[in-house]
Structure 1
């Protein structure tokens, strides 16, 4: 794993999370593969496939987030090979009320990345909350 690849991936992920927090759809879509597969917290539980379907999942999240919810990376670990990488993170994701009620609750994020044409893109994204 090269430090340069790890730095590029860390920047890609933190830039993506910042775009999510700002409600910047173009920023959220940047650096994602055209054939992305995402498993998300809300349905469909068999996931979504392709960038158009991925795009469609974000406006409802942005509406919810506009009510004051946070979306902040708390920890991020990355493992990168020459052309494949994965990352996993914990994020504070919730409204102030939700986080006050469950202060240790964290969104789990796993990303699978590919190096295409010399740049890293997210090919797989998985969001989940633990089931208590």
Structure 2
């Protein structure tokens, strides 16, 4: 039977996973970041392709290598809804850092994470990142927005 204390406890557990995952991204630790993913993890990333299933450490390490130093990842307005077996979160995230050969980069984007409890542990089953685009016919990504 669910009680409000159980639900609050599950929310706290999901938030702990999100915090550990975000910290691994900041440190550019692909193994630690991906350790929070389910075996059938599905990623709708900002980068192509449209659907990315089974991202491995090689791909994530290659992306991390395009940055000098640690990454700054801020999660703003993080909201978590958790039940006994599934949960989801959404936030506005800011990614910033020094891109090799390009200098300082900063981007706000939307992030939704879907979780499943597997073997008693919360795992990220689905990650969806997006930026809005200008509806003026240009189809330009609106990467200049701030919350």
TM-score by length of 2: 0.74
**5+ residue gaps, structure 1:** 100-104
- CA-based RMSD: 2.0
Q: Name the CA shift for 1:32/1:18 in 2 (closer, same or farther; >3 Å).
A: same
For these two proteins, the number of residue pairs brought into alignment is 124
Flag as ranges the 4+ runs of structure 1 deviating above 6 A. none
| Greater RCO, 1 or 2 (C-alpha within 8 Å, sep 6+) | 1
Which structure: greater strand fraction? 2
Larger radius of gyration: 2
Deviation at 1:90, TM superposition (A): 1.3
**5+ residue gaps, structure 2:** 99-103, 134-141, 143-147
- Is 2:109 the counterpart of 1:107? yes
Aligned residue for 2:52? 48
Aligned residue for 1:85? 87
Cα deviation digits, residues 100-123 of structure 1 (max 9, x gap): xxxxx5121111100112111110
Which structure: greater helix fraction? 1
Q: Name the CA shift for 1:129/1:94 in 2 (closer, same or farther; >3 Å).
A: farther
